[in-house]
Homo-oligomer: A and B are copies of this chain.
Amino acid sequence: MNYDIAGFRAAIGAIRCEDNPVLVRQKSRDFYWYSPILKRELDSVAADLVATPANEDEVRAILAAAYALQIPVTPRGAGTGNYGQAMPLAGGVVLNMAAMDKVTSIAPGRVVSEPGALMAAIDEQTRRGGQELRMHPSTYATASIGGFVAGGSGGVGSIRWGGLRDLGNVLRLRVLTMEATPRALELTGEDLSMAAHAYGTNGVITAVEMPLTAAYDWADLIVGFSTFEAAAAYANALSEQDGLLLKLVTVIASPAPHAYFLRHRHLVTADHSVVLAMVADHSLDAFRAFTRRYRAAETLFDSSRASPDARKGLPPNYELAWNHTTLRALRVEPAITYLQALYPFPTQLATVKAIHERFGEEVTGHLEFVRFNGEITCFGLPLVRFTSPERLNEIIAIHEAMGAPIFNPHRYTLEEGGMKQTDLAQLAFKRRADPLGLLNPGKMVAWEDPDFDYRAGSNFLFQGLEQRARAAGA
């Protein structure tokens, strides 16, 4: 596939572009390499050009030019995704939103920003008025708000607020369509689900309105247990304390905390399974009272009581949790990969225990407690010692047979990583907003191959990716 890149550059005039292959390749990637499967499948993916608009008018000009020349456009936030969300499978243009990073308004309960604003930078501004975002990924410091909404599902804060998919956790998205004359659409309420978590396949987000909540000093607590089961039971009960304001409740089985959290090594032994919690300053008394109910609980770290020296150099708890757990494990043991599981309420603890016992050292337990449809349960991001794609599929099948559905992080499509079925609203919106299918091609199976059978057991392979690879080889 050869695109008329020169024509495109001429059409967009002075808008910032980059075609240095090293830099383009860099901006064509995310953390897909957490998955050995995606690493193999996507390693050669690269755009032809990176365009970096400074404002919505420039986005409009880029989309109009690309539409006219039928060049694919893949929007990208900060590239902190894990499933190749923002990787341009068919080449073309990476639309780098990083320069659109302004916070445009802050009001009680609301912040409006451009999509490229980093989440930590948004909070820095909203905190001056005592507010902060409800939730963020573990890549808080480096992730953009647009990327989080388009490619994330929840994270730190989900123990209080549920996930991004829940009504009320995104307030408004402004989206440009991929047409001859791009239109700006304002999505609110039910309509948000059409474009949120769509990987930018059906519109380009140019403004994001998010809910805010009260900002507090969050203390990092690490509580140790001698078994994973005891840690999970404590974490579950802690999460059910409605009066205790928490932002994170993570459980990680031994020996992972000692083995992988190198800066915390002196605090945790190889026998410790740990619970990581973020607790609002004014809930600390209650947290400690609750923890004292558990004789087996050992408080290994309490940032609110640690000296500045003891805190120095320690990453915050949220950078040990969610996918940062995987990252830290990978750095120590490159053969580690991970899964994403849901342990459905109300049998979550029994399911966790059974799966933990089944796999032993091949799968190390990692739970993230969340509110889910009004109840407390946990997701898992277990660490898996990777041996082969076949064994990985077996491990997935065993999880599902034992009652824990897997959201497969070794797939680059929306459906295969998600609900394994067509999202009719997202598809219908793509028909309206991207009639030629130029936005982030290859990520929405329903568009590319409406008859794809998710139950057949084989991965969806985007033909454009293959063609692109052949063209590159030719």
| Interface of A toward B, CB cutoff 8 Å | 108-110, 129-131, 134, 160-163, 166-169, 171-172, 188-190, 211-217, 239-245, 280-283, 285-290, 292-293, 346, 371-376
Contact = CB atoms under 8 A, between A and B. Distances in A.
Which of A131, A161, A214 has the most chain B CB atoms closer than 10 A to its own CB?
A214
B211 A213 contact: no
Nearest to A164: B243
* Nearest 9 A/B pairs, CB to CB: A240-B374, A162-B242, A189-B289, A166-B243, A168-B243, A168-B286, A109-B282, A169-B243, A214-B214
A353 to B, nearest CB: 19
A344 to B, nearest CB: 13
Contact of A167 (B161, B212, B243): B243
A189 B288 contact: yes
Contacts of A282: 108-110, 168, 171, 211-212
A75 B199 CA distance: 61
A150 to B, nearest CB: 17
B374 A242 contact: yes
A281 B109 contact: yes
B166 A242 contact: yes
A242 B161 CA distance: 5
A212 to B, nearest CB: 8
27 contacts: A108-B130, A109-B214, A130-B130, A160-B242, A162-B241, A162-B243, A163-B242, A167-B241, A167-B243, A167-B286, A167-B290, A168-B287, A169-B243, A189-B285, A189-B286, A189-B288, A211-B245, A211-B282, A211-B283, A212-B282, A213-B214, A214-B214, A239-B374, A240-B373, A240-B375, A241-B374, A242-B371
A110 B110 CA distance: 22
A244 B129 contact: no
B376 A375 contact: yes
A240 B376 CA distance: 11
